[in-house]
A and B are shown apart, each in its own frame.
Chain A
Amino acid sequence: MRVLAKRARELQQVPAGRVRRRKATFPPVASSRALCPPSTTYPAKHIKFFPTSKLHSMSEDWKANLNLPKKDGRPQTDDVLATKGNTFESFHLKRELLMGIFEAGFEKPSPIQEEAIPVALMGRDILARAKNGTGKTAAFVIPTLEKLKPKVNKIQALILVPTRELALQTSQVVKTLGAHLGIQVMVTTGGTSLRDDIMRLHEPVHVLVGTPGRVLDLASRKLAEFDECRMFVMDEADKMLSREFKNIIEQILKFFPQSSSGKGNGYQSLLFSATFPLAVKSFMDQHLYKPYEINLMDELTLKGITQYYAFVEEKQKLHCLNTLFSKLQINQSIIFCNSTNRVELLSKKITELDYSCYYSHAKMPQAARNKVFHEFRQGKVRNLVCSDLLTRGIDIQAVNVVVNFDFPKTAETYLHRIGRSGRFGHFGIAINLINWNDRFNLYKIEQELGTEIKPIPAEIDKSLYVVGQPESIPRPFKLDQLPNGKERNHNRYNGQPTQPQTQKQVEY
């Protein structure tokens, strides 16, 4: 007995010398990998052996030197917290990648990241759905970056998204997470100079992010070569596989490497979305090889978002919106209209009411669109009026109020729209202005989403959406990254009027 107890004490302490000695007793990595049955869902990397002490001490060093952003102290819901308790380190990612991840403000993987990253690292095709704003982008960007070989100057990953703004955003995420990898990320979308994009492709590019039309144009002219591109990613996959896009995508895939063994594809496909109104079976059968399906949704709507409707006459909408502006503590808001004309008119009205407001829709010049998108993400403007151009994927952490000034046609549009608030498990509200004609659509969408939209109360509970410390909300770019960021006076935010006592003046 005493001997056993002694041994236990020894084990607790795990002296370094013992560890090293034990290392020799383990079989080499290769053999244990060979023994690993093919059915395992875990990446072979897990079988690697790392001496504890070394791992430990290493982690101390590099973690201390990280340039971590301010911690976002807002409460979060189970949509992102219900994890198995893995850490980013447990995926055995490259050090440089881990640095990028932590510096981007990520702490622990969200459920979708926990599910998707190991499987993606293993090389399997993935078809995944997870709620809006629960970390899908990082779930495909992290394995993509891990598999990248920075020394090979070829396009090694293609990420396709439906809109140009989303391409910009995704590219920014790839750049941020891969900041220490020394990789080149290029965006290519329509609306920008094609000549410039061709020029860019003369330089090394590792990750190409773009919209399908432009990518196809570049690929079919052999300007962008995908013969070494082993990673094909589609965000908003349900939209990408709807009719118009699907044709283009299937043409793009013809330029991808073929499988040498004839089995499966010569590349890995990752498909992500929050909505799948239709099964994408035909595409799956044709282009995916044994896709690993991840479905983390047993309900469609986010837990952190409270939905209200305000049943108004068309002429009252503006008045109602003004009331909302004056009553709510809006951190940032997105207001959706159904037509480009109404977008412009409404945003004009809002500025006339002395609230800062930008607008964006697809019929604007791309330069203006990019500018609006960038400034709004940076939090320079408080309100954004837009069309469904910005319905999908746009991630602005500070948005806590979404207003559907016009009600959408389809359930997935509705879901994506309200998903602009309550990002990453935070809280937010969505307010729908419903007129007489919209009411059946309201019922229909409620039914399709299995949710109930309640009438707007006189007072909305502040705990449902109010942000305590807006300054801690992460922004895509730090000030010193921006051109002339230091010289300009960014610290004062002037976009909100001083008059209403409820609307807190927030200084960024």
Chain B
Amino acid sequence: MTSRGNQSNNPSGSRFTGGNQHRRTGSKNWSHINVSSTPNYSASTFMTNGRKANSAAQMGTTQVHNAAYHLPNSAQDQEASLKHMNDRLLFGLIRSIGCKSRITTNSGATYDGILYTSGGITDSGVALILKYPQLKKSSFTPSDEDFNNKAELPETLILSEKDILKMEFDSVNFETFEQTGKPRVNASGKSFRTDIDISANSAFHERELQKWVPDEDIDVRLTEGLEDADSNVHWDQFEVNERKFGIQSTYDENLYTTKISKSAPDYEQRLKEAEQIAKEIESQGYNGNIHLAEERGIILDDAGVDEEDKYSGVAREPVPLNEGDALLLGMLRANTKDQKTELRPTATGKNLPRRQRAANFHGDRAVGASSVTEEKKDGTLESPMGLDALEQDISDHQVQASNSERPKKIVAENRKVSHQNEINSFREFSATFKVPTKFPPDLLPILSKDKVKQNEIMKKSETEECEKDENSEEGDDPSRTADIDTQSKTPTPILSKKKMDPRTAPTFKMNPNSIPFSPSFSSSRNSPALSSSEIVQSPQQRTRKEAASFFPTGKSPKELAIHDVCGEFFNTKFNVLIKARIEYEEKNETKNALIINIEKPFATPPTWPSTVEESYKMAFSKQPEWIGSPAALPPMQKRMYQVSAQPFPMMAPPPQQHPPVPQPVMMAQPMQMDPHNMHMPQPTFVVPQFQQPQFIPFYQPPPNVPQMAYGIPQNQNLANGAIPLSMRQQGHRNSRNHQYTQPQLNARGGNGYKF
């Protein structure tokens, strides 16, 4: 029982109690709301005088009188204090509801029970209702007779205000609202205890595990592992259990949910509408959320996510703050997964498909199996086991192909078409492919052991060679090449063999107009199914795309960099010479000048929004002598010195100052740099050719701009020791200083820095 708050502002109560008694019974946790001031019972931390003067006087005690003794004597004050005491009593009573209570009546009878409620406080006191009353004493001087006469009490006992002499309540909780809002068991003082908080005191101990010893009688059926035998048997559990054990179903969904009323007048119409809406909902995307996808009936490539992850386990990684973090986390996780596969490699080679990695985690390859592969065969179970990595790759493509948000049927068609395309293209290739050189004689013994056959092959290849020379403009003879191909089996790609089904393949007709096919890794991987824009990609792929999405064409950055961009974009926009010429011409209003003056980017001082308005003087230390003796400086200044002496002030700030690499804040707001970097001393050669406003639109990732702008070239400067240049620029310094700050301000006010 606590009554910290109460006691301090309860002069009558605390005074009334008496210190020594208070301590003695305080631990007993009984709260007395005393009506009489019998000294034996008056000890408590919470104590209120509930009765008015008249009732107290009636009992022959003088509580109120006592209370008033220390209070100001004016009638008003007395009334106020009385009111306060009423409030306290009421508070105590309300808090005591539900507590064990002991009520003594005027007759001396004592009842125990649970306080159920109380009436309002009237002049004559307060009435109480007890639940489950028990008579403890029938009078002040109980006789045996009385006790034996004890009648069966009703469940509820009502005690009127007149009858009550004393009431005591056990274990009253006086905590205030805020306190009770806290958890009931809260030892650690934390807001809410997690599982580990609860089990915290257990020590980790590795121990020898006792081997389980099987009994002697070993049934043959039991000696094999689960997956050893025919592991892909799908079985009908209902049929088997009904046949063997006579179990029949009593399931009816109406036991669990509401019935559909078919009697409604517009039932048919509603049904149609509902069907329509249902279709619309189910054809929505799933926003990358596997649960949403599941509920919309979209079959995802869920390889690597087992049912524990989905339905039971709680993801331990803290929730990422934004998309960028999520991406980064994903990449980090992917990396760790890769490491895992290295630790526990399976037989399938180093480039494991994702499902294999997940399977590794469990030591069970089936765990990672995608549900899609099962779907493929109309419910018959197909395990990925026993397939080699190559086939898994292919089925991965199928998986991706089927990750469609469109109805499955279309996807299936798509897939069919794509396969057909693939097969056709391989077929074409095998038909047109020919080794351009003479047939290597050392291959002959491999192809055929028969001397005659060897000769035949040799001959054929020779004649073909001749024919090729003759008919080089007409194209190859298809039948012949095909013939050679099947006989020699030389470089037919393995893939085509796997894919082609000789029974179903239509007879092939050479199309002389067909584009020559060259097998390449990328073409065989990027099956047409993948390139279809309608196909939803697996989450990993999706995120990859998002990462590159600022490239306008939607192509991957790699593709852009290699093919399209190099020529146009980087050559023009990032060519220092061209840029310099444009600037020079703009500035000097000349055209086709033969000699241009290249403004070195390093000439631009480090400027940040917080420092643009400052004069360059602010950047200088007021103690010029620090440059001379860095060793004698206080640490802060020493560091400043070191920084300024470094060739890459921004590229390599002191490591302890630099935030960890995954720093999305920096990415988003390039100007929030380290404070000490901002106050870097400006170099003496200040030339204001900071081209940021022009740069930014072309070069989106902003943090690179300032680094590029002066960091790298400065290195060149130092390396070359380009003193004459800096001297020349020094001449312009004073006149240009003003110009330089102005555009910076503009840039800041405009959208130059805002992304």
Contact = CB atoms under 8 A, between A and B. Distances in A.
A491 B596 CA distance: 102
Contacts of B244: 351, 354, 356
A447 B314 CA distance: 17
Contacts, number: 475
B639 to A, nearest CB: 37
B594 interface: no
A339 B366 contact: yes
B98 interface: yes
A300 B176 CA distance: 29
Interface in B125-183: 127, 129, 131, 135, 138-141, 146, 149-151, 153-160, 163, 173, 176-177, 180-183
B230 to A, nearest CB: 9
A378 B250 contact: yes
Contacts of B270: 199, 202
Interface in B254-278: 255-261, 264, 270-271, 273-275, 277-278
Interface string A340-351: 111011111101
A378 B250 CA distance: 9
Interface residues of B, number: 148
A214 B227 CA distance: 36
B383 interface: yes
B381 A344 contact: yes
B307 A387 contact: yes
Contacts of A300: 195, 198-199
A398 interface: no
A154 interface: no
B307 to A, nearest CB: 4
B262 to A, nearest CB: 9
Given A276-B194, A319-B218, A410-B314, A12 B291 contact: no
A311 interface: yes
Which 4 interchain pairs have the tightest Cβ spacing? A213-B295, A450-B199, A4-B107, A190-B295
Contacts of A292: 180-181
B568 interface: no
B328 to A, nearest CB: 15
Interface string A1-34: 1011111110111100001001001110001100
B69 interface: no
Nearest to A189: B295
Contacts of A12: 109, 135, 150-151, 153
B602 to A, nearest CB: 46
B313 A413 contact: yes
Contact of B253 (A5, A52, A370): A370
A202 B264 contact: yes
Interface of B: 90-91, 94-95, 97-98, 105-109, 116-120, 122, 127, 129, 131, 135, 138-141, 146, 149-151, 153-160, 163, 173, 176-177, 180-186, 190-196, 198-207, 209-212, 214-215, 218-219, 221-228, 231, 233-235, 237-238, 240-241, 244-253, 255-261, 264, 270-271, 273-275, 277-278, 281-282, 284, 289-297, 306-308, 310-316, 319, 361-364, 366-367, 369, 371, 374, 381, 383
A317 interface: yes
24 contacts: A7-B105, A32-B118, A32-B120, A52-B157, A52-B158, A56-B156, A191-B294, A276-B195, A282-B319, A295-B193, A316-B214, A319-B218, A340-B307, A341-B366, A345-B231, A368-B238, A381-B245, A406-B364, A410-B308, A443-B204, A449-B195, A455-B209, A481-B255, A482-B250
A46 interface: yes
A42 B97 contact: yes
B292 A363 contact: no
Nearest to A415: B195
A19 B154 CA distance: 12
A198 B292 contact: no
A217 interface: yes
Interface string A281-300: 11010000011111111111
Given A279-B191, A280-B192, A340-B366, A455 B223 contact: no
A352 B638 CA distance: 80
Main secondary structure of the interface of B (DSSP, over half): loop
Nearest to A337: B226
Q: Tell which of A115, A356, A408 has the most Cβ of chain B within 10 Å.
A: A356
Given A316-B214, A450-B202, A482 B381 contact: no
B212 A456 contact: yes
A485 interface: yes
B289 A37 contact: no
B405 to A, nearest CB: 14
Contacts of B192: 127, 276, 279-281, 284, 293, 295
Interface in A343-378: 344-349, 351-354, 356-359, 361-363, 368, 370-372, 374-375, 378
A168 B256 contact: yes
Nearest to B290: A244
A160 B141 CA distance: 61
B314 A495 contact: no
A96 to B, nearest CB: 19
A263 interface: no
Contacts of B109: 4-5, 7-8, 11-12
Contact of B362 (A338, A375, A413): A338
A488 B247 CA distance: 11
B120 A31 contact: yes
A37 B90 contact: yes
A193 B278 contact: yes
Nearest to A205: B258
A151 interface: no
Nearest to B364: A339
Contacts of A340: 307, 366, 369, 371
Contact of B94 (A27, A37, A342, A495): A37
Nearest to A172: B256
Contact of A11 (B159, B241, B296): B159
A356 B257 contact: no
A351 B241 CA distance: 8
Contact of A277 (B257, B316, B383): B316
Q: Tell which of B122, B226, B238, B294 has the most Cβ of chain A within 10 Å.
A: B226
Contact of A248 (B140, B277, B292, B319): B292
Given A163-B311, A297-B198, A494-B246, A346 B226 contact: yes
